[in-house]
Structure 1
Amino acid sequence: MLIKIIDGLNEAVGRVVSCVAAIFAVLILFDVVMRYVFHLPTRWGFDVTKQLFGFYFIMLGGYALRHQSHVRVDLLIERLTPTWRRWVEVLGYPIFFFPFAWIFMSKSYEFALRSWKQGETTYGAVQLPVYPLKMAMTVAAVLLFIQGVSEFLKLVLNKEN
């Protein structure tokens, strides 16, 4: 049940966040047309698309892990039997993944909280708030961590996606 809830949450977040790609594609196209066709570049276009891309990239970590789309070093385990490969992955989660994800969660939370308290903004021509993007890092870290729990449970319980 827990596995289905976590997988479903990251699936839903991934599908919703993937729509952001269309939004920033339209914004980039708009900015390019304004700049090169009408010679009226926007002051905000670069900053907004940069923040949207950062949001898009960071928020899809849990979704990517759910679909086994993360970069992996399979050179070491590709020659192992499926059983040995599974056990190497089972050990890899508590040794490598969970400590990394915990540090990512705790440090991104501190980072976001400091930004929120300072009312941090970009330093460009248009001063956009930065703290929403930094808060998204914390949410993304939590989503990645709980998806790691799901993947770990699947390995231990020998369940398929």
Structure 2
Amino acid sequence: MKKILSILFLATVFVAGASAQQLEKLFDKYMEDERFNYVYQKKASMMDRLNDAGNVDVWVFDKSTTSLGRQMLTLNSADKSLDESFTREVENALKADKYEQVSIVRNGKNRVETYEKNTDKGIAKVSFIKNPGNIMVTLNVYAPRK
């Protein structure tokens, strides 16, 4: 009985570890694919932080976090099947990594979804833009200032 419980425990730990960081694996998978534009920025600039905050007052007074970087993938293909499969991959990665959806903005067929999760590094924020013919996913990671 102890052996079975030990095996089940190890299997659970393995599955949890294997599903973690699926979104980062997605960036690694497509960063060299010419059908995508890929951007990596080690530390976001002040203008990027202003855009992330969306409100000058929040940006000026909220200096509680510092950027650990950002990554962005934009699909550059009119292939509808690639559009759909990439969208499913991103949605599955967000679900596997346990991101929480914090907002949705929809205008006709255009849609922007925002997700967040706490990580060991700080907080990860994802913007997932789904417009016909234009799919983009952005990952921003912030750490608390010390």
Could you say which structure has the greater relative contact order, defined with CA pairs below 8 angstroms and 6 or more residues apart?
Answer: 1
Structure with greater proportional helix content: 1
Structure with greater proportional strand content: 2
TM-score normalised according to structure 1 size: 0.27
TM-score normalised according to structure 2 size: 0.29
